[in-house]
Structure 1
Amino acid sequence: GIIGYPSVGKSSLIARVSSARPKIADYPFTTLIPNLGVATIHQRSFTLCDVPGLIEGASEGKGLGDQFLRHIERCGILLHLLDISRALQGTEVDTAVLETDYRAIRAELNAYSPALAAKRELILLNKVDLIGNDTASVEQALQARSLPVFASISAATGFGTEALLSALLPLILQERIKRQEERESSGGELPVLKPQEQTRSMGAYRIERDEKKRIIVRGARIEQFTHMTNFESEGALRRFRDVLERIGLLKALERERKGFAAPVLIGNIRVDSYLAIE
């Protein structure tokens, strides 16, 4: 999955290395839906997903990001694209700008899902043709900021893109083996949720009642998600309801309430007024 700020060259990269022809233009949010492209190298192929640009606040519904963060969950490896042009000052590259861009996107991934943020991530420098493809000093400076660059490329000219695919292929094959082993270990059957063993999963929750007959939802990830939700934001509220519906919690709460207006808390936060449940 290719991630990064709007207009950093995600669509250009997927168009360069595959036969996909996404819409490309020099303004934010040109990509409105995720684009898929199949890249082939050394007689092997793999799929790339060009995810619409993220901005700060995407996990709370700003921009287009909250609609598409979930697409990244399906990706085995994240390619985090940093745009040289955003940091170019004359002929010099201000790596502090690149670090700020990187940290902002990482914050959105963490806010959306720690499991998503834990995925393998590779940092790519794009538009390096703007500095004559000479990236040694920039890569050194980013390394000093704990941002190791996996590859420096120019999606526009094709510089470095074939080498990128060659370097990616063994990592993707490793990921395929890992996923196959996970499927085989589960026996191909639906997994049984065990909250005590899956505390990082959003779906690892339990519903209980206290002595005041309040309905309380417990679960490390769902409680963290609720605590981080800004309920004054319409986009964040939509996202909150969508997540609860996706993991089956809304229906579970409807069954638990059974027509009685019992207070509903997730952790120590009361949420029944936000859920529109009977």
Structure 2
Amino acid sequence: MTVRTIPEPRDTAAVELADGGTILLRRHGNPNGPRLVLSHGSSFSADAYFPFWSRLLPECDVVVYDLRNHGWNPLSDLGSHHMPMMVWDNLRVVRAIDRHFGPKPKIGIYHSVSAAIAVFQAIEENSFVGLVLFDPPVCPPGLSEARERAIRSAGPAMSKRAANRQAVFGRWEELAENYKKSQAFAFMDHDDIDLLARTTLRPCEAGFELCCPPAYEAKLFEQLYKWALAIDIFSFDFPLKVIGGDPTAAFSFLPTVGLEQISQVDYDFVPHTTHLLQLEQPRVCADLAIDFLDRSNLI
């Protein structure tokens, strides 16, 4: 077994949120390079994506952070764990990045729920010069009524599953073994699954507990697909790339919304991946992101 080791950040900073919560920023990579800002999908952590973002470190100034109530961040009130608050959090995050690490154009690289948050953030404020969105929960226009109903029903079903997750483990290896037995993680390298488990948990008296408790994850999933139907990514005037999981594969975690028919969007998918494509094929995903940023003259 290879233990994935994440390097110590070059810099860190704490961002105070509107409700008194905190988000911890970590800066890695080349401070003289173009600035990339990254976050993660619901219930995970930015550190779980290290096999992906480590490939960006030689050339780029990389700032990673966890969504509220995830990863490095302390747990705050469940009442504030919702999409509008997370959009406001992101607005504070990008301002804090410039304040603590110096102003510089920022390129957002986001996955899943953090991609949805970044889109709403971009509607509110011009925070980024470009966005790369991995399997964002967005819906192309002109969906059939049946497809829209299916998307609306996905949230409550996933919320119910999340609410029933095991929250406490005697050892982090127990969660890793659960993941390895699950078809949802079948395309991931086992060493990367170990990293995912370790970075999804925090120590507690009983051993380890989920950084994002089941009730918090369930609340976010309850809202997510209602918001997905309201997201418009087709009107931005900056470079935007969407990279999806394989639309021909049966999804195993979140339903992938294929955008290949939308000519206004620079869209690619990674064959033989699911919604967890950055965790399953980190090199391919990094190469696609770098290629787009290079073609867009952003790096």
Normalised TM-score (structure 2) = 0.32
Which of structures 1 and 2 has the bigger CA Rg? 1
The higher-RCO structure (CA 8 Å, 6+ apart) is 2
Normalised TM-score (structure 1) = 0.34
